[in-house]
């Protein structure tokens, strides 16, 4: 764990999603982070991956795994099934990852900020360019904020996050590497922060192109 440098600039990409508790920010806003689930984890707590199906009786919403089961049994015809299957797999990989990462943190690194309650920050303008490309925000409403901090942070790395099926022992190893702060590439660094942040200014995405 590191105590945040109150004189250093960090950056945050604030996605204005319907399920997010972070609404549109204004310059000068001060926000307390860590008391509740962040927008990323609150999606798993409050949302369901489901897909619309049209029948003679009307339109229905079918949960994701059930939807794919119906496609496999030829009960539903979907020209987009490959994309839906990929999206659903990514959803469950991320969900399982966050549960495992939090369990390892609580057990072995309880002094570090939680991925379920933190806000993610970026340590440099170069990093903002990397994450804008990684997140794929085309067509979404978002803000890029320069912020100052008071609180605690942990420097993790995207390279250690679970992204596919693998043996459990390797997953636990990845989690420990993440919480130990092992990273060789500054661009993939992600800052987990709990505390109080102040919005200094907003920056247009075009400046990072």
The tens place of each residue's pLDDT in the chain, 209 residues long, gives 688 778 899 999 998 877 677 778 999 999 999 989 998 898 899 889 999 998 877 788 999 999 999 999 999 888 899 999 999 999 999 999 999 999 999 999 999 999 999 999 998 888 898 888 888 888 888 999 999 999 999 998 888 888 889 999 999 999 999 999 988 777 778 899 999 999 999 999 888 87
Which CATH architecture does the domain made up of 2-208 adopt?
Alpha-Beta Barrel (3.20)
Using an 8 Å Cβ cutoff, are 19 and 43 in contact? yes
Would the CA dihedral through 48, 104, 90, 12 be positive or negative? positive
Using an 8 Å Cβ cutoff, are 208 and 134 in contact? no
Supply the pLDDT for residue 193.
96
Supply the pLDDT for residue 150.
94
| Phi, psi for 121 (deg, rounded to 5) | -120, 160
CA pair distance 77, 69, nearest whole angstrom: 11
CA pair distance 179, 166, nearest whole angstrom: 19
Supply the pLDDT for residue 26.
93
For residue 38, which of 127, 102, 133, 131 has the smallest C-alpha distance? 102
CA pair distance 164, 125, nearest whole angstrom: 29
Its pTM stands at: 0.86
CA pair distance 102, 94, nearest whole angstrom: 12
CA pair distance 32, 21, nearest whole angstrom: 12
For residue 122, which of 113, 112, 111, 130 has the smallest C-alpha distance? 130
CA pair distance 114, 176, nearest whole angstrom: 14
- Give residue 104's region: left, alpha or beta (phi > 0; psi -120 to 50): alpha
Supply the pLDDT for residue 1.
62
CA pair distance 128, 209, nearest whole angstrom: 10
Supply the pLDDT for residue 97.
95
For residue 134, which of 155, 120, 152 has the smallest C-alpha distance? 120
CA pair distance 134, 132, nearest whole angstrom: 6
Using an 8 Å Cβ cutoff, are 150 and 5 in contact? no
In this structure, what token pair is assigned to residue 192? 């987990």
């Amino acid at each position: 764990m590191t105590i945040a440098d109150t004189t250093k600039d960090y950056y945050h990409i604030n996605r204005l999603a319907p399920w997010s508790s972070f609404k549109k920010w204004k310059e000068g806003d001060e926000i307390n982070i860590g008391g509740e689930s962040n927008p990323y984890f609150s999606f798993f707590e409050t949302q369901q991956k489901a897909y619309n199906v049209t029948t003679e009786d009307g339109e229905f919403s079918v949960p994701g795994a059930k939807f794919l089961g119906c496609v496999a049994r030829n009960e539903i015809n979907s020209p987009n099934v490959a994309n839906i299957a990929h999206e659903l797999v990514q959803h469950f990989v991320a969900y399982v990852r966050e549960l495992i990462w939090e369990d390892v943190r609580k057990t072995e690194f309880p002094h570090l900020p939680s991925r379920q309650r933190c806000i993610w920050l970026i340590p440099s303008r170069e990093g903002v360019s990397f994450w804008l490309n990684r997140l794929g925000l085309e067509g979404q409403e978002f803000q890029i904020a320069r912020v100052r901090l008071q609180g605690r942070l942990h420097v993790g790395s995207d390279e250690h996050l679970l992204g596919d099926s693998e043996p459990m022992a390797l997953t636990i190893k990845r989690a420990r590497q993440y919480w130990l702060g092992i990273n060789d590439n500054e661009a993939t660094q992600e800052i987990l922060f709990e505390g109080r942040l102040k919005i200094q200014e907003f920056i247009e995405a075009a400046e990072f192109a």
